[in-house]
């Protein structure tokens, strides 16, 4: 049998074939996507951010029905704001949002003809209690890896390690990587500013080798701006043990399926989102706080552009999510295409077709192997 030249420490850690991880994106990464990636030899991850604890349990069960390979769970850890109780609900948060902010949102809706609607912010980052529940479920379900998207996972490390679960955490700066590695995080994800979703200011190319050096021997995954085998080889060359891909998997056939089924997004909205990524050039994204209050890379759109132009509020997470949720529901109901907030990274410019997730994994593997062989490193 031909030697798998892409085999790394990450493959040994999880018993997977290729060092390709599909990130656990909220609203995007359900059991169909996670299982497809794991079945193709990579590591799939379910994004818990949009799910209630019961829904997460059900999604894990479904993934187990679809694959006997390992897969992970990913969830954000919300910041603790002084005025937000740890068990805050969407209702509590609505009351905490200042009247001027609601006023602005109402006027914004009226000016752009967005119908009045009642939105669901989704559970993402609403309260630390929910993150604790998600983590507990992952433990009970014997999930081999839990990923902390944003926030500090120090409180989960001892319990995870006690049952052999690994913790991965995402960073955008060397000092964050050092702190998390010292706390016992098993795999650091170094995510450059190119990435879709919450992101920092440093590019993947300078960030990755600096993080690798800073936390060695802790393994590091490369994230931000990777779509193909060249990106995988470059990441390995810079010392990563694999890649963590987000935007690349948004346009796979299996993405968002359960989100539509659960009613968090409509088919129309998902179609518009995917098409926006397929149509985008490398310069069609922007970093904005409009959706979550944190810097988040999305494709340029009229909602964000006008919100900023008019000096719209940028409240702290999770208040901003709740503030814009009614408007986004109105946009969805009225099918206002230019007003959706399609999250995606700079690599969108390279993505030209929707494909099955397994095909994407296979193509990355094939191209990476070919590149290495061409360099004389494949034998
Ligand atoms: C639509 C979308 C949603 C995301 N949601 C999450 C999330 O819930 N949790 C998380 O850890 N990262 C999330 N991210 C970030 C990804 O995990 C990943 O770090 C990033 O997409 C990598 O950069 P790339 O988009 O260039 O591949 C999201 C990214 C995108 C594009």
Taking alpha carbons only, the member of 264, 259, 262, 224 closest to residue 245 is 224
User: Does the pLDDT value for residue 261 go beyond 80?
Assistant: yes
CATH of domain 9-80+125-252+353-374: 3.20.20.70
- Ligand 1 atom having least distance to the Cα of 192: 23
pLDDT of residue 86 exceeding 80, the answer is no
Is residue 308's pLDDT more than 80?
yes
- Average model confidence (pLDDT) for the chain? 94
Of 103-112, 160-169, 320-329, the poorest mean pLDDT is in 320-329
Which residue, 22, 60, 28, 24, is CA-closest to 41? Answer: 22
3-state secondary structure (DSSP) of residue 272: helix
List the domain boundaries for the chain: 9-80+125-252+353-374, 90-123+265-339
Please give the pLDDT value at position 379: 56
Would you say the pTM of this structure is higher than 0.85? yes
Residue 235: its pLDDT value, please?
98
CA distance 233 to 170: 20
Q: Please give the order of strands across the beta sheet that includes 187-191.
A: 20-22, 242-245, 220-223, 187-191, 166-171, 145-148, 71-75, 44-47
Would you state the pLDDT for residue 123?
A: 55
Kindly give the distance from the C-alpha atom of residue 210 to the centroid of ligand 1, in angstroms, as a whole number.
Answer: 21
Residue nearest to atom 20 of ligand 1 (CA): 246
122 pLDDT exceeds 70?
no
Q: What is the Å distance from ligand 1's center to 272 Cα? A: 18
Task: Ligand 1: list residues with CB < 6 Å.
Answer: 23-26, 28, 47, 49, 74, 76, 147, 149, 170, 191, 194-197, 223-226, 244-248, 250, 343-345, 347
**SS3 annotation, 194-208:** CCCEECCCCCHHHHH
Residue pair 171/98 in contact (Cβ under 8 Å)? The answer is: no
How many Å apart are CA 288 and CA 293, to the nearest integer?
8
So what's the pLDDT on residue 85?
Answer: 77
Mention every residue, 6+ apart, whose C-beta is less than 8 A from residue 286: 297, 298, 299, 300, 304
pLDDT digits (tens, 9 = 90+) for 171-219: 999 999 999 999 999 999 999 999 999 999 999 999 999 999 999 999 9
CA nearest neighbour of 31 among 261, 226, 251: 261
pLDDT at 2: 64
Looking at the DSSP assignment, which residues form a beta bridge with residue 43? 21
Q: Which residue has the higher pLDDT, 147 or 77?
A: 147
Residue 30 contacts residue 2 (beta carbons within 8 Å): no
Strand-pair partners of 71: 44
pLDDT digits (tens, 9 = 90+) for 1-24: 567 999 999 999 999 999 999 999
Q: What pLDDT is attached to residue 89?
A: 79
Query: In this model, does residue 323 exceed pLDDT 90?
Result: yes
């Amino acid at each position: 049998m031909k030697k798998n030249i892409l085999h790394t420490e990450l493959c040994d850690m999880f018993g997977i074939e290729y060092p390709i991880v599909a990130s656990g994106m909220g609203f995007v990464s359900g059991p169909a996507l996670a299982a497809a990636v794991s079945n193709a030899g990579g590591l799939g991850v379910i994004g818990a951010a949009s799910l209630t604890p019961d829904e997460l349990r059900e999604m894990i069960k479904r993934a187990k029905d679809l694959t006997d390979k390992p897969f992970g769970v990913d969830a954000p850890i919300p910041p603790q704001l002084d005025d937000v109780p740890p068990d805050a609900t969407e209702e509590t948060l609505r009351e905490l949002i200042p009247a001027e902010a609601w006023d602005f949102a109402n006027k914004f809706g009226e000016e752009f003809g967005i119908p009045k609607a009642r939105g669901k912010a989704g559970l993402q980052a609403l309260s630390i209690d929910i993150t604790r529940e998600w983590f507990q479920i992952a433990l009970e379900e014997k999930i081999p890896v839990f990923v902390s998207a944003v926030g500090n996972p120090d409180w989960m490390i001892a319990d995870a390690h006690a049952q052999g679960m690994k913790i991965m955490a995402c960073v955008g700066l060397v000092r964050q990587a050092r702190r998390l590695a010292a706390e016992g995080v098993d795999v650091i994800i170094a995510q450059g500013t190119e990435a879709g979703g919450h992101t920092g200011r440093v590019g993947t190319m300078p960030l990755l080798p600096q993080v690798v050096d800073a936390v060695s021997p802790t393994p590091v995954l490369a994230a931000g701006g990777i779509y193909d085998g060249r990106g995988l080889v470059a990441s390995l060359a810079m010392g990563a043990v694999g890649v963590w891909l987000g935007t690349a998997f948004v346009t796979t056939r299996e993405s968002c399926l359960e989100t539509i089924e659960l009613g968090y997004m409509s088919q129309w909205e998902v179609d518009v989102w995917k098409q926006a990524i397929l149509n985008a050039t490398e310069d069609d994204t922007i970093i904005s706080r409009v959706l979550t209050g944190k810097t988040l890379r999305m494709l340029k759109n009229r909602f964000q552009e006008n919100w900023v132009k008019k000096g719209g509020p940028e409240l702290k997470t999770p208040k901003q999510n709740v503030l814009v949720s009614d408007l986004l529901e109105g946009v969805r109901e009225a099918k206002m295409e230019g007003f959706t907030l399609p999250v995606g990274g700079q690599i969108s410019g390279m993505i030209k077709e929707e494909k099955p997730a397994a095909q994407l994994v296979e193509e990355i593997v094939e191209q990476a192997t070919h590149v290495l062989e061409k360099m004389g490193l494949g034998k």
